[in-house]
Amino acid sequence: MPERDVVSWTILIEGNRSLRKYDDALFAFERMQFLGVLPNRVTMVIALSACAGSGALEMGVWIHDYVKRNEWEVDVILGTSLIDMYGKCGKIDVGLSVLKSMSEKNIFTWNAVIKGLALAKSGEEAVRWFSIMEVEGVTPDEVTLVGVLSACSHSGMVQTGRYIFQSMMDGKYGFRPNTKHYACMVDILARAGCLDEAVKLIETMPYEPSKTMWGALLAGSKAHGNLDLCEYAAWKLVELDPGNGAYYVMLSNLYAEMGRWNEVENVRRLMEDRGLQKDVGSSFIELETAEQVYNVFAT
């Protein structure tokens, strides 16, 4: 084909990024410049997204420096991309500096800030910036509230989480909690040891409980020593995903910890009957938490 220009390179980079081939996207980004093709603003936004997806902080910082050297205006799109990258790469403090330099912000900007603070487990700061957002007249959306609730979960801010969740129930934000918000609230309660309240929330919500919710309940029950509730949640996970051998291993280990050796054997037999591997290590067990919910929902 003819020599590629910035448009064709940008399309190539975006194609890889959209398939989550972040390393390939960034390789193309570097190759483009090696061949003397300069990036434009669209290229940079896409490359920053690839940096965010792969945790390529060094490349993200290089892009930010390039923007500064060339005296590009940090508009709402480029600024939001920088904040998102810094937040996902564990440098939300730099992202906040970008925020303060921006003359225009939108809901995506605020969501990137709150998400970055949630990932950094800075719950109080996330709630503070959420309040600033509201004072500035920006209406939060569903993603915003997932981020705030996730931040509350990791910082043990149970009362704040309850208040925000109840505000959603009361219609303050124009929408009621969806499954993602319920999952975050279950995680908040379970982490804090409010296990009965977490179970009640699961049993009374207007949705079918998800793996995320049962996983959060199981993790909280384990952390607070309620092995009976662990067993209950683990079987719910098996019911929802009977082909996932990790859940059976988890059950088997739980029964071994409880000294219920007959149950250990029963679970192993069940695995054999269902054609599942016995050697699934516990390292493969991923209990979905509020943080993971946010990552999926906000992508």
Encode pLDDT of 116-129 as tens digits.
999 999 999 999 99
Mean pLDDT over 99-117 rounds to 96
The pLDDT > 70 percentage for the chain reads 92
Residue 275 has a pLDDT of 87
The overall average pLDDT reported for the chain is 91
In this prediction the pTM is: 0.84
The pLDDT > 90 percentage for the chain reads 83
Mean pLDDT over 159-166 rounds to 97
| DSSP structure string for 204-257 | HSSSPPPHHHHHHHHHHHHHTT-HHHHHHHHHHHHHH-TT-HHHHHHHHHHHHH
| Nearest Cα residue to 189 out of 146, 230, 219 | 219
pLDDT at position 33 over 70:
yes
Residue 4 CB neighbour total at 10 angstroms: 16
Residue 4 has a pLDDT of 86
Mean pLDDT over 200-219 rounds to 95
Residue 130 has a pLDDT of 97
pLDDT at position 149 over 50:
yes
d(CA 32, CA 4): 9
d(CA 66, CA 294): 30
Residue 281 has a pLDDT of 44
Residue 278 has a pLDDT of 58
Mind listing the pLDDT tens digit for each residue in 260-297?
Answer: 999 999 999 999 889 887 554 443 344 444 444 444 33
pLDDT at position 96 over 70:
yes
Mean pLDDT over 223-242 rounds to 94
Q: How far is CA 221 from the centre of its chain?
A: 22
Residue 191 has a pLDDT of 95
Count Cβ neighbours within 10 Å for each residue of 192-219 and write b for 16 or more, e otherwise. Answer: bbbbebbbebbeebeeebbbbbbbbbbb
Lowest-confidence pick of 1-10, 67-76, 105-114, 121-130: 1-10
pLDDT at position 168 over 50:
yes
Residue 159 has a pLDDT of 97
| Residue 285 DSSP SS3 | coil
Lowest-confidence pick of 44-53, 156-165, 188-197, 281-290: 281-290
Residue 276 has a pLDDT of 83
